[in-house]
């Protein structure tokens, strides 16, 4: 059974720093992996989607990488800003999950001004 883990559960860094959020999954036979952002009291916003055949995706200051063989993905945030404060969740889809998302519990990120 596929399990997704995000460590740490919470992270606090000063503004301007580059940072990396981690996501690991137990079954490397994934179809794709997505990173989402959730602001307090709000729904989730899709940030990046990486297909199983891809190694990375970039959007602005965000870069997500995927290493299927090791069961890991990272979300790199460059030059962090207070507006980046949110909970970041990763989710994978496996071939036998009927293309439904399997979620990590998220990393709560706080960027200190």
Partner 1 sequence: ETGVTQTPRHLVMGMTNKKSLKCEQHLGHNAMYWYKQSAKKPLELMFVYSLEERVENNSVPSRFSPECPNSSHLFLHLHTLQPEDSALYLCASSQGALPGDWTANYGYTFGSGTRLTVV
Q: Given the rule CB under 8 A, which residues bind partner 1?
A: 4, 9, 31-32, 34, 36, 41-46, 49, 89, 91, 93, 98-106
Q: How far is CA 56 from the centre of its chain?
A: 12
Cis geometry, peptide bond prior to residue 8 (ω within 30 degrees of 0): yes
Q: Which is nearer to partner 1, 4 or 64 (CB)?
A: 4
Q: Which is nearer to partner 1, 28 or 38 (CB)?
A: 38
The minimum distance between CB 54 and partner 1, in angstroms, equals 14
**How far is the CA of 109 from the CAs of 37, 45, 71, 75, in angstroms?**
10, 15, 22, 12
Q: Which is nearer to partner 1, 15 or 54 (CB)?
A: 54
Distance CA 77, CA 80 (A): 6
The minimum distance between CB 102 and partner 1, in angstroms, equals 8
DSSP code for 99: T
The minimum distance between CB 18 and partner 1, in angstroms, equals 26
């Amino acid at each position: 059974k596929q399990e997704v883990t995000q460590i740490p559960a919470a992270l606090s860094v000063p503004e301007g720093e580059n940072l990396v959020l981690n996501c690991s999954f137990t079954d490397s036979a994934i179809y794709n992996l997505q990173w989402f952002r959730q602001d307090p009291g709000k729904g989730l916003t899709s940030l990046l989607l990486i297909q199983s055949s891809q190694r990375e995706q970039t959007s602005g200051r965000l870069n997500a990488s995927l290493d299927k063989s090791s069961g890991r993905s990272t979300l790199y945030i460059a030059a962090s800003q207070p507006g980046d404060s949110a909970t970041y969740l990763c989710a994978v889809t496996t071939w036998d999950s009927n293309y439904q998302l399997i979620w990590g519990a998220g990393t709560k990120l706080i960027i200190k001004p």
